[in-house]
Structures are given as C-alpha cells and as structure tokens.
Amino acid sequence: MPPIYDKKNILVSGGAGFIGSHLCEKLLADGARVICVDNLVSSALGNIDFLLKNPDFEFIRQDINVPFDPEIFPELERFKIKFQGIQEIYHLACPMNAKLFEQTRMQTLLTNSLGTKNMLDLALKYKAKFLFTSTSTVYGPRPEDNHPVKENEIGCVDMLSPRACYDEGKRFAETSCQTYREVHGLDVKITRIFRTYGPRERLFAGEMIPDFILNALDNKDIEIFGDETFSTSLCYVTDVVDGLIKLMATDGNLGPVNLGSEVDLPILNIVQSILEMTGSSSRVVFQPALLFMTPLGLPDLTKAKEKLGWMPLVRMDEGLKQIIDYTMAHKNLLMTTFNPGLKTPDSNPPAAPTA
C-alpha cells in the first residue's frame, strides 16, 4: 500500500493558462500542494499572481519539451519530492492562440509529442496518476447530421492540414498515453474538452468570447468568423475543472471522457446577449472562418454523467456576466502593455520556446 501524506503533491503543466490557472486554484482550495509548470508562451503570470504567496503553491518557468527533474529546483524543497514524490500530474500544456497560431506551430507540434513524452516519463518515475487534456477536435469536423459525438467514435482529421500540429498532435498524444498505460501500467486518464469560456481567457488574442466582449465594450464591429448558421457549445471553465478533478479521482481505465456542454447555441444569440449585457451599440459583421474558429461537434456526455456524476451547472447568463466583469477589469491594463510587433498585448517577458 502506498504511503499516505497529509497533502498530495500535484504537478500541473500549463498551469498558468486559462483552464490551468483555475485548476491550480481549485486544487489548492481542496488541500493539495501544487507545482505549476509553464513557459508562458500562451499564458500569463497574471493568471496565477494571487496564488504565488500560498506556501502550498510554486511556479516553475520551464519548457516541458526539455526533460527536467523537479528534485533539483531549490524552490521545491519544501514539497519534499525526493521523499514523497508526485502523486498526480495534470498535463494541460499546449500553445493555444488563434491569431498567433502560425508563430507557435513548431511549439505545438513538439509539445504534443516530445512534451507529452516528458510528462509521461515523470509520471512513470513517480508512479503518479496522469491526466491528459485532449480536445474535441480529435473528432474532426461537426457531423453532417449534428449528432452528439461519443467517445468511441473515430474522427477524421487531415494530418497534413495547416492546423494538424494541434489536431493530429492531440491524437498522437492520446496514443502516447494509451501506449504508456499498456506497456508500463501507468494510470492514465484522457479527457476531450469541448469549447470552454470564462475569466482569464486571453484578451486580444483571437479568443472568440473575449473578442466579442472587447468590441462590444468599445462599440466596435463584432466579427463572427463564419455565417449566420455558425453555432457552438460553450462550457464554463469551473465546470470543466470540476470534471477534470472528478476524472482524476476515478479508479481503473474509463477510456476518453468528453467534457463540455451539450447545448448547441447560435453564435449570433451569444453576441446578442453580450450586446444587451454591455449596453453596446456594436454592429455584427461576418468574416471568413479562421482555423480555430470553425463549427465543432457537440459532446455526448453519457459517460461523464454516469461514470463521474458530472454535468455542466453554470448557466450561460451567469458565465457571461463573470467574463464580462473580468474583461472590463483587465482590458485597460493589458492595453498599456500592447506590443505592436505581435499585434497582441504582451504582459510577459520573452519566454523559452514551447510549453
């Protein structure tokens, strides 16, 4: 029987990102010690600055595509990793910026392959439970009949498309996780996350809901990258985090588990809600679809409901209010650090490639 510690040591790769920072916050609230590993390529210290004074939290700026040993970091000595090891690893790291996608294609490719291998090797070293956050895009485009996709459906992804380093990269990462399970007996969990929204989404970076809100607040045209038929599902970030923690707590192999909302919402309706909530006079204009702003399938949540006892709880109006409040509080701060060269605010110093 493994030893029992007063607090688990948990490592979160990509922990300074949108979902990762909410996960770190919840794990700390639940009584764990959290090691946040991130190189800030598509995340921000501002997401975790309120956690830095917590003695059970430590941020390590690290490129996960380079093998690293947590035991050599003096700032982690209080976690007693040499004695206690690491009990759980949540692997969320992957560059994600719709408008700067071309600049991070190599980082994305390597993170989904080499970075995932390095995280799996860490889990193997410490016999840690391992959770990999995959994506709904592994299923390919939205089915023509619009049926909710089950986890046993085999998606169709073009491995030579411009965004294959992300879509096919995530598929390969799932294969890596399953292979480590079969060959090494590693306790691996896989979740496929559908579109998620909430506070700490990157502003000025091509994220759909934040862009809508920013333009609405400034009474600028709101651009929908698609036509009037474009619809999607949106799951609030704290619901997704709750699903991740529930999945990590399970025993045995459930196989991949969908996490997201099964409610299909026309993008135009979401924009209208934002306009009403902000009192905006913005016009709505339609633009050609971007690589990361295309219609995706809806999740079948049967497995999550039955095996995890999980389902989304936060209503759309509640979630939109939270992200609108966050955006109003942060937009001016980020504008003061705008980097014209990147066409996006850059609140971080230059980061090591990839994470």
Model confidence over 237-289: pLDDT tens digits?
999 999 999 999 999 999 999 999 999 999 999 999 999 999 999 999 998 87
Higher pLDDT, 3 or 53: 53
Amino acid letter, residue 287? Q
pLDDT digits (tens, 9 = 90+) for 258-270: 999 999 999 999 9
Task: Tokens for 202, please give them.
Answer: 């990157």
Element housing 38 (H / E): strand 33-38
What are the tokens at 230? 């474009």
For the annotated catalytic residues, the residue numbers are 166
Q: Is the pLDDT of residue 351 over 60?
A: no
Band of residue 333 on the pLDDT scale cut at 50, 70, 90: low
What whole-number percentage of the chain has pLDDT above 70?
90
Q: Give me the mean pLDDT over the 179-189 stretch.
A: 98
pTM to 2 decimals? 0.91
Torsion of Cα atoms, 14 then 16 then 19 then 21, to 10°: 130
pLDDT tens digits for range 90-108? 999 999 776 677 888 999 9
Between 136 and 335, the higher pLDDT residue: 136
Q: Around 245, how many Cα atoms within 13 Å sit in the side-chain half-sphere?
A: 20
User: Considering only 44-58, 91-105, 340-354, which range has the smallest mean pLDDT?
Assistant: 340-354
Provide the pLDDT confidence category of residue 353 given band limits of 50, 70 and 90. very low
* CATH for the stretch 9-198+236-261+294-313: 3.40.50.720
Higher-scoring residue by pLDDT: 36, 227: 36
Whole-angstrom distance, CA of residue 345 vs CA of residue 338: 4
Q: Is pLDDT at 331 greater than 50 in this prediction?
A: yes
pLDDT in tens, 294-319: 678 999 999 999 999 999 999 999 99
Q: DSSP string spanning 100-120? A: TGGGGHHHHHHIIIIIHHHHH
Q: Give the per-residue pLDDT at 96.
A: 79
Domain ranges, ordered by start, for the chain: 9-198+236-261+294-313
C-alpha–C-alpha distance, residues 349 and 346, integer Å: 8
The reported pLDDT for the residue numbered 291 is: 62
Task: Give the pLDDT confidence of 125-182 residue by residue, as tens digits.
Answer: 999 999 999 999 999 988 989 999 999 999 888 899 888 999 999 999 999 999 999 9
Q: Which two tokens stand for residue 306?
A: 């039955």
Task: State the Cα–Cα distance between residues 35 and 177, nearest whole angstrom.
Answer: 21
Residue 227 has what pLDDT?
82
Model confidence at 1: pLDDT above 60: no
Euclidean distance between CA atoms 89 and 77, whole angstroms: 18
For the cut 80, the answer to whether the pLDDT of residue 340 exceeds it is no
Confidence of residue 293 (pLDDT cuts 50, 70, 90): low
Around 242, how many Cα atoms within 13 Å sit in the side-chain half-sphere? 15
Residue 200, phi-psi category: left (phi > 0), alpha (psi -120 to 50), beta (remainder): left
pLDDT for the residue 98: 67
The secondary structure element, H or E, covering residue 306 is none
Residue 349 binned pLDDT confidence (cut-offs 50, 70, 90): very low
